């Protein structure tokens, strides 16, 4: 009996330990008011725009901060905090007129002083701004001065004409060059929290659980409809909560149950069980991303263009795209995505698979079945699936591909230093084709991740940045596309669609070609 | 007893030293650069170099290790590369939730295993035995994530009895917190009860064949008393060893269950940190896990004399 009592004591102790541990979990207040709930697969990285960031971080912070200009859905710049701007005749001086009715989340009015402070902060190396290099020696232009002739005008002088200047400022990965109030940092310059001008202000961030944004009551939206990150931005709910739900099945169940209102970035394979439900609505938007098979053109074997062409000729791009994306993506052999206004008749044709010609090229190149390593990752299931399909297609012509699946950090590391032969890679949405080609073109000695480093391609890329005229740029993009297909530094495969599912009581939700969740203009019935 | 405890605790030092060296080297042997993960694809070389310098990753490995060890000995496990939060605080915060789920689940699984295993052994080759062994085998074969998803779909989605996405701390709403923890706890209980039941049954069968049990029955003791007083304590000792091992590895994180049920526990922290190459957090988590493992097994060893008087803590 005594031993039974001891046992009961031990078990009791375990139970009490559990109860005590229960009390250790910290707490926060419950939110009241209308709340729109969306899902992220992983947590954001920081609240500091354009610095410590990833796509989720950009999406959240673009609800909180705004730049001088913002991107329209077609990728062109639109007014945001600046009501208008002028460019000097030599293209070097930009003069922005600020909107007079804008206030920060702390109630302070927006003036040129905050704009100058924000821009100067971004241009300090220690800020670690994502787009710092764009304004360095090898970037689009160097900033010579930022001045304020009056409290509502900001003048930025560049060292040379830079038609890509506004496009760069509004990039999501640059944090939209969001203008912040200086109280966003402490006296030592250390980051505190974003005090911006957006339709939502930063609420609670409970790490790995949720990020909550609160409607900013004093926000004055621009007139007009929502257009990309520009246009009228109306906060129609009191709170927006981005829930971190890593597991896709759990996220789908949460949507069906009503614990989630918006489920963005669905894989096509996840549509099963969601499609056809009366309480849900599906959204599909073609986006400006690019999936490509990168080829290490400095590899002894793959430096031979005949071998690269042979690999390309084995790939049935249309079939691969249909299989991998479940029919939701669009095959595209040009780096310019189908959703881009610059996608035209030159970009549209697909390379047709031709195994006989591939074999002839392989024979001419002296290929005798050596194994070629194809690096991929499961971070994006489509990357892995595409690698498997490419391996099978290449095998039909006698090309021996070995798939090496690594985790994302290892994949990223190989990509950056160029230590691969073939690599399946996806690139997030780029609003301008210069940025899309910029993925591939560059000097390998300085940027080993670049696959296309011929002097002619680099020269053409520069030319895309010298004119803002779409017609002039289209000519250059077309030439780049033709050369890209001919020289095969990579095989562009497809651009995908953003798939979202929303509950039927959600109004106004629509993703856009930049593949970035926008929850302004979205309400609940 | 005290000297035994102190001796055992002292023996953890070489273990933890080896773990710290192994963890430090192993995480760095895995390809991948934390600065690159943080800045993302297309990061500028100068920015990468600057961030590496900020994080101290540009220094030689021995220097990095000595610096980390010096801080660790003072209880400072550094700051997360990703979030900038102190690692020690992060671990303790996440461990609280994991510990709650694990302790409740393992306690429940132990109780179930003790009763079911003893009963199956007592009625060996009967329908009861068949049912217990069959159920335990099925439970052993079911992956925890699949079981979790099934329970989630049944009780969360179909029946709508329980919430299943997110987590509300106890201090915010005790009732809600309990409701959020029901499914993870039940999943883990079922998963862990299989192996414990098999172990309890096996050791109970061995004990039931021993002479002293026959002697107890011959004395005319009621069967209930024979089982509870004479069979159970001796049969439970090997199961207790397994409970200790189970607790040790589960307290180090139940990443799969935490992922399925969106619980911000230690397992998810560790997995996320490995994927982000967040060296300080991975090192801190593994060191902490090793310490917990050693501690839990010490506690289990100290519990042995309660069940088996032949064992003494010396």
Q: Considering only the beta carbons, identify the residue of A136, A206, A250 that sits closest to B152.
A: A250
- What band does A202 get if pLDDT is binned at 50, 70 and 90? very high
Which residues 6+ apart lie within 8 Å of A130 measured at CB? A50, A51, A53, A173, A174, A175, B39, B40, B43, B47
CB contact under 8 A, A257 and B164: yes
What does the alpha-carbon distance between residue B180 and residue B67 come to, in Å, rounded to a whole number?
A: 41
Nearest to B229 among A1, A407, A413 (CB): A1
Of B202, B188, B200, B195, the closest CA to residue B108 belongs to B188
Q: Which one of B31, B53, B230, B257 would you mutate to disrupt binding with A, by most A Cβ within 10 Å of its Cβ?
A: B31
Residue A13 has pLDDT above 50, yes or no: no
3-state secondary structure of A237: coil
Which helix (H) or strand (E) element contains residue A183? none
Does the pLDDT at position B166 exceed 60?
A: yes
CATH class (in words) of the domain with range A69-184: alpha beta
Is residue B150 within 8 angstroms of chain A, CB to CB? Answer: no
pLDDT beyond 80 at B311: no
CA-CA distances (angstroms) from residue A195 to A83, A110, A370? 20, 11, 57
Instruction: Determine whether the interchain pair B152/A416 forms a contact, defined as Cβ–Cβ distance below 8 Å.
Output: no
The rounded distance, in Å, linking the Cα atoms of A177 and B45 is: 21
Q: Is the pLDDT of residue A44 over 50?
A: yes
Alpha helices in A340-466 (DSSP H): 355-365, 381-395, 408-417, 433-438, 455-464
- Asked if the C-beta of B143 comes within 8 angstroms of chain A's C-beta atoms, the answer is no
Residues of A in contact with B157 (CB under 8 A): 253, 256-257
Smallest CA–CA distance from B104 into chain A, residue: A18
Q: How far apart are CA A236 and CA A262, in angstroms?
A: 15
A288-495 homologous superfamily: Dipeptide-binding Protein; Domain 3 (3.10.105.10)
The values of phi and psi at residue A281, to 5°, are -130, 135
> What is the b/e burial string over B90-126, where b = at least 16 CB atoms within 10 angstroms of the residue's CB?
bbebbbbbbbbbbbbbbbbbbbbbbebbbbbbbeeee
Average pLDDT over residues A360-372: 95
pLDDT given at position A7: 41
Quote helix, strand, coil % in chain B, to nearest 5. Answer: 75, 0, 25
C-beta separation of A332 from A346 below 8 A:
no
Containing A322, the helix (H) or strand (E) segment is helix A317-325
- C-alpha distances out from residue B236 to A92, A281, B231, Å: 82, 55, 8
Mean pLDDT of A380-404: 96
Mean pLDDT of A251-264: 92
Q: How buried is B202 (Cβ within 10 angstroms: 0-12 exposed, 13-18 middle, 19+ buried)?
A: middle
Torsion angle of alpha carbons B224, B227, B230, B234, nearest 10°?
Answer: -160
Residue A376: strand pairing partners: A405
Degrees, nearest 5: CA angle B290-B294-B296: 115
Q: Count of CB atoms within 10 A of residue A221's CB?
A: 14
Pairing of strands A497-503, A262-263: antiparallel
**3-state SS, one letter per residue, for A99-116:** CCCCECCCCCECCHHHHH
Q: Give A105-114 pLDDT, tens digit per residue.
A: 999 999 999 9
B104 contacts chain A (CB < 8 A): yes
Which residues have a Cβ under 8 Å from the Cβ of A459 and sit 6 or more positions away?
Answer: none
Beta-carbon separation of B157 and A18 below 8 A: no
pLDDT of A262 over the 80 cut = yes
* Residue A297: how many other CB atoms lie within 10 Å: 21
Residues 274-293 of A with CB under 8 A from B: none
Nearest CA in chain A to B178: A22
**Among A289-303, A368-382, B290-304, where is mean pLDDT lowest?**
B290-304
Helix axes B61-73, B2-29, angle to 10 degrees: 150
Domain range list for chain A: 69-184, 288-495
Confidence class of residue A5 from pLDDT cuts 50, 70 and 90?
very low
Find the CB nearest B170 among A25, A209, A447.
Answer: A25
Of B83, B106, B153, the CB nearest to A253: B153
Which among A6, A208, A253 has CB closest to B268? A208
Percent of chain B having pLDDT more than 70? 98
pLDDT tens digits, one per residue of B30-68? 888 888 888 888 788 888 888 888 888 999 999 999 998
- CA gap A469, A163 in Å, rounded: 9
Question: Does any CB of chain B come closer than 8 Å to the CB of residue A11?
Answer: yes
- Compare CB distances from A257 to B82, B149, B160 and report the shortest one's residue: B160
| Two tokens, residue B162 | 């329980």
- Which position has the token pair 């971190």? A244
d(CA A65, CA A57): 12
Element (H, E) at A138: none
Cα separation, A243 vs B38, in Å, equals: 21
CB contact set of B299 (below 8 Å; sequence gap of 6+): B244
How far is it, in rounded angstroms, from Cα A200 to Cα B63?
45
Q: Which chain A residues are closer than 8 Å to B236 by Cβ?
A: 7
- pLDDT-above-90 percentage for chain B: 40
State in Å, rounded, how far the first CA of chain B is from the last one. Answer: 6
Interface test with A, best of B166, B181, B237, B277 (most A CBs within 10 A): B166
Grade residue A162 by pLDDT with cuts at 50, 70 and 90.
Answer: very high
Contact A477, A433 (CB under 8 A): yes
- Beta carbons of B303 and A416 less than 8 Å apart: no
Question: CB distance A253–B157 less than 8 Å?
Answer: yes
The ipTM (two decimal places) reads 0.77
d(CA A365, CA A482): 23
**Separation between Cα atoms, residue A17 and residue A40, nearest integer Å:** 34
Q: Which chain B residues in 42-101 lie under 8 Å from chain A, judged by CB atoms?
A: 42-47, 50-51, 54, 82-85, 93, 96-97, 99-100
How confident is the prediction for chain A on average, in pLDDT?
A: 91
Q: What is the mean pLDDT of chain B?
A: 88
Mean pLDDT of A270-289: 90
Q: pLDDT tier at A8 (50, 70, 90 boundaries)?
A: very low
In the predicted structure, residue A131 carries a pLDDT above the cut 90: yes
Quickly count: other Cβ atoms within 10 Å of residue B55's Cβ.
Answer: 18
- Assess contact for A78 and A228: CB atoms under 8 A: yes
Interchain CB distance below 8 Å, A27 and B229: no
Grouping H, G, I as helix, E, B as strand and the rest as coil, residue A230 is strand
Q: Is the Cβ of B300 closer than 8 Å to some Cβ of chain A? A: no
Query: Is A25's pLDDT higher than 80?
Result: no
Chain B, residues 22-41, CB within 8 A of chain A, namely 30-34, 36-41
B60-90 pLDDT tens trace:
999 999 998 888 888 889 999 888 889 999 9
Q: What is the pLDDT of residue B314?
A: 54
Reference A494, options A271, A262, A261, A323; nearest CA is: A323
Q: Write the CB contacts of B74 (distance below 8 Å, at least 6 apart in sequence).
A: none
Contact A220, A66 (CB under 8 A): no
| Chain A residues within 8 A of B165 when measuring between CB atoms | 243, 245, 250-251, 253-254, 259-260
The answer on pLDDT for A21 being more than 50 is no
Surface-to-core class of residue A33, CB atoms within 10 Å of its CB (0-12 exposed, 13-18 middle, 19+ buried)? exposed
Residue B34 with chain A: CB contacts under 8 Å: 409
Sign of the C-alpha dihedral, residues A416, A418, A423, A428?
Answer: positive
Given CB atoms, is A449 within the 8 Å cutoff of chain B? Answer: yes
Identify whether the C-beta of residue A168 lies closer than 8 Å to the C-beta of residue A183.
Answer: no
Best probe of the A interface among B33, B40, B172, B310, by most A CBs < 10 A, is B40
Residue in this structure with the two tokens 């297909």, named with its chain if needed: A485
Whole-number Å distance between alpha carbons of B124 and B119 = 8
Closest residue on chain B to A260 (Cα): B165
Q: ∠A169-A173-A175 over CA atoms, to 5°? A: 60
């Amino acid at each position: 009996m005594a031993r039974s009592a001891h046992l009961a004591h031990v078990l009791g102790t375990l139970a009490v330990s559990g109860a005590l541990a229960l009390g250790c979990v910290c707490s926060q207040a419950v939110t009241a008011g209308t709340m729109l709930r969306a899902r992220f697969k992983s947590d954001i990285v920081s609240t500091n725009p354009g610095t410590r960031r990833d796509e989720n971080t950009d999406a959240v912070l673009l609800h909180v901060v705004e730049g001088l200009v913002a991107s329209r859905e077609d990728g062109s710049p639109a007014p945001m905090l600046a009501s208008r701007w002028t460019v000097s005749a030599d293209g070097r001086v930009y003069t922005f007129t600020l909107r007079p009715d804008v206030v920060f989340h702390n109630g302070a009015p927006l003036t040129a002083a905050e704009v100058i402070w924000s821009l100067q902060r971004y241009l300090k190396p220690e800020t670690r701004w994502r787009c710092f290099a764009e304004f360095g020696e090898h970037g689009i232009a160097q900033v010579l001065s930022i001045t304020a002739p009056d409290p509502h005008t900001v003048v930025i002088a560049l060292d040379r004409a830079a038609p890509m200047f506004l496009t760069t400022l509004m990039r999501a990965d640059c944090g939209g060059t969001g203008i912040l109030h200086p109280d966003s940092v402490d006296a030592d310059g250390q980051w505190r929290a974003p005090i911006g001008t957006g339709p939502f202000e930063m609420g609670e961030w409970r790490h790995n659980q949720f990020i909550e944004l609160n409607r900013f009551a004093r926000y004055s939206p621009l007139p007009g409809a929502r257009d990309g990150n520009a246009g009228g931005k109306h906060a129609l709910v009191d709170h927006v909560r981005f829930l971190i739900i890593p597991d896709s099945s759990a996220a789908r169940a949460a949507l069906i149950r009503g614990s989630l209102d918006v489920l963005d970035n669905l894989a096509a394979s996840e549509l099963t069980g969601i499609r056809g439900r009366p309480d849900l609505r599906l959204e599909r938007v073609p986006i400006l991303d690019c999936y490509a098979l990168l080829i290490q053109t400095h590899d002894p074997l793959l430096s031979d263009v005949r071998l690269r062409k042979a690999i390309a000729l084995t790939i049935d791009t249309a079939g691969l795209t249909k299989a991998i994306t479940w029919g939701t993506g669009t095959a595209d052999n040009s780096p310019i995505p189908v959703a881009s206004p610059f996608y035209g008749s030159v970009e549209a044709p697909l390379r047709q698979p031709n195994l006989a010609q591939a074999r002839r090229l392989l024979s001419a190149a002296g290929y005798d079945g050596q194994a070629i390593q194809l690096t991929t990752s499961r971070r994006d299931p489509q990357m892995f699936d595409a690698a498997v399909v490419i391996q099978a297609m290449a095998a039909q012509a006698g090309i021996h591909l070995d798939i090496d699946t690594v985790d994302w950090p290892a994949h990223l590391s190989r990509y950056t230093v160029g230590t691969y032969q073939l690599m399946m890679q996806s690139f997030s949405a780029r609003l301008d084709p210069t940025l899309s080609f910029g993925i591939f073109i560059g000097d390998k000695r300085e940027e080993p991740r670049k696959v296309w480093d011929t002097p002619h391609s680099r020269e053409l890329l520069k030319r895309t940045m010298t004119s803002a005229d779409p017609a002039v740029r289209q000519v250059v993009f077309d030439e780049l596309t033709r050369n890209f297909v001919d020289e095969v530094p990579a095989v562009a495969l497809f651009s995908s669609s953003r798939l979202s599912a929303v509950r039927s009581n959600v109004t106004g939700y629509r993703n856009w070609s930049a593949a970035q969740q926008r929850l302004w203009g979205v309400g609940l019935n | 007893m005290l000297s035994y405890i102190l001796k055992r605790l002292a023996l953890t030092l070489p273990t933890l030293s080896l773990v710290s060296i192994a963890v430090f080297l192993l995480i760095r042997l895995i390809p991948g650069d934390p600065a690159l993960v943080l800045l993302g694809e297309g990061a500028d070389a100068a920015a990468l170099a600057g961030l590496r310098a900020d994080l101290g990753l540009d220094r030689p490995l021995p220097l990095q290790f000595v610096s980390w060890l010096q801080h660790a000995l003072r209880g400072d496990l550094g700051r997360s590369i990703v979030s900038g939060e102190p690692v020690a605080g992060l671990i303790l915060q996440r461990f609280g939730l994991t510990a709650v789920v694990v302790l409740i689940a393992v306690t429940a699984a132990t109780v179930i295993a003790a009763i079911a295993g003893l009963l199956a052994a007592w009625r060996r080759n009967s329908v009861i035995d068949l049912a217990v062994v069959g159920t335990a085998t099925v439970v052993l074969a079911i992956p925890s994530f699949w079981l979790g998803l099934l329970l989630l779909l049944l009780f969360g989605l179909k029946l709508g009895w329980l919430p299943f996405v997110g987590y509300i701390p106890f201090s915010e709403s005790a009732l809600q917190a309990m409701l959020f923890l029901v499914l993870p706890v039940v999943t883990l209980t079922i998963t862990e009860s299989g192996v414990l039941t098999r172990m309890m049954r096996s050791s109970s069968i061995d004990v039931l064949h021993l002479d002293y049990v026959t002697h107890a029955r011959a004395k005319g003791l009621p069967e209930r008393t024979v089982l509870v007083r004479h069979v159970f304590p001796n049969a439970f000792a090997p199961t207790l060893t397994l409970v200790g091992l189970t607790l040790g590895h589960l307290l180090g994180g139940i990443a799969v269950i935490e992922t399925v049920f969106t619980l911000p526990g230690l397992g998810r922290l560790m997995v996320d940190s490995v994927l982000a190459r967040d060296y300080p957090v991975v090192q801190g988590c593994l060191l902490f896990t090793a310490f917990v493992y050693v501690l839990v097994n010490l506690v289990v060893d100290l519990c042995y004399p309660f069940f088996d008087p032949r064992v003494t803590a010396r």
